[in-house]
Amino acid sequence: MKGNGQYQFIADPVFREVEAIIRAKSKTFTFATALLPDVQRRAVRALYGFCRFTDDLVDEQKVTPEELVEWRRKVNLPANDQYEPVLRAWCLTREYFGIDSRFQEELIDGVAMDLVNQNYQTWEQLARYCYLVASTVGLLSMPIIGLRPGVNEEQARPYAITLGIALQLTNILRDVGEDARAGRVYLPEEDLAAFNLTRADILNGVYDQRFFALMGFEIERARRFYLDALPGIAMLSPSARPAVGVAALLYRAILDEIETIQYQVYRIRAHTTLWKKIKMLPRLIWEVKNIEEPASEPVHG
């Protein structure tokens, strides 16, 4: 932090505009980040706004490769040259915290992969995509939320990467139906084949024992990534642990919801209701508080 300058940083009215956008886009993220101190909360929400807006360029606005190149150019301009609220808030944050723009570039690289209807043959290929679009978010947020004394970013980075993969795989499993309607299948071809399924089956909404087995397999994979990633929460600054830990555990709970709806992801978007989140909150905070520091690097990172 830069002393009293932090109050001038968060006083810029653009942050309130971005927070209004965030509330409309992600209730889970808004709920969890409410646990952060003011400066980190607004900065992390500015980061989320940038990431979400970048992703929406492909998913909702259907930009061309040339337009994404122009977006990348605009993102790299200094804050004083930014006029869009999301970009100004993000660039103010990036400059204030001295965030490495390398991870920002990798995030845009990942979003660019969605410009083509790409098939993933192997888990390793999908994991690389998950790193680009999700793990980079954790790496970008690390300077904002901070680490506990005695921990450096090199030590914490593998856990951020692993958690990002867990979160993105959760997104993919939740959105199987939505992606299929858009002509996309993210699940690796090798996994589909292992359960006697094809890409065409997913696009056609096949819902049978083969699909149940596939979803169960992928859910357990995601849970292993969460298991490996969560010890990294103990490496964060004390003020950041509740928000990051609760956010991760709420996302992990989506896997439970997918099972509760019996894998009907083609027609139901699994989610945790606000009332259920509130009921879960004391238990989740207790669970986060009792996370122990890792003895070794994550296995799946």
Which residue ranges form the domains of the chain, and what is each CATH number? 1-99 (no CATH), 117-301 (1.10.600.10)
CA distance 298 to 43: 27
CA distance 119 to 270: 24
Tokens found for residue 272 = 């945790």
DSSP SS3 for 236? strand
DSSP SS3 for 199? helix
Element (H, E) at 20: helix 14-25
CB 142 within 8 Å of CB 151: no
Q: Count CA atoms within 13 Å of residue 57 on its CB side.
A: 26
CB 180 within 8 Å of CB 266: yes
Tokens found for residue 115 = 């410009």
Per-residue pLDDT tens digits of the chain, which is 301 residues long? 444 455 566 677 888 888 887 777 777 777 878 888 888 888 999 999 999 889 888 877 788 889 999 999 999 999 989 988 899 999 999 999 999 999 999 999 999 998 886 789 999 999 999 999 999 999 999 999 999 999 999 999 999 999 999 999 999 999 999 999 999 999 999 999 999 999 999 999 999 999 999 999 999 999 999 999 999 999 999 988 988 999 899 999 999 999 999 999 999 998 888 788 888 888 888 988 888 877 667 766 5
The reported pTM is 0.89
Q: How far is CA 36 from CA 11, 154, 247, 250, in A?
A: 17, 23, 11, 16
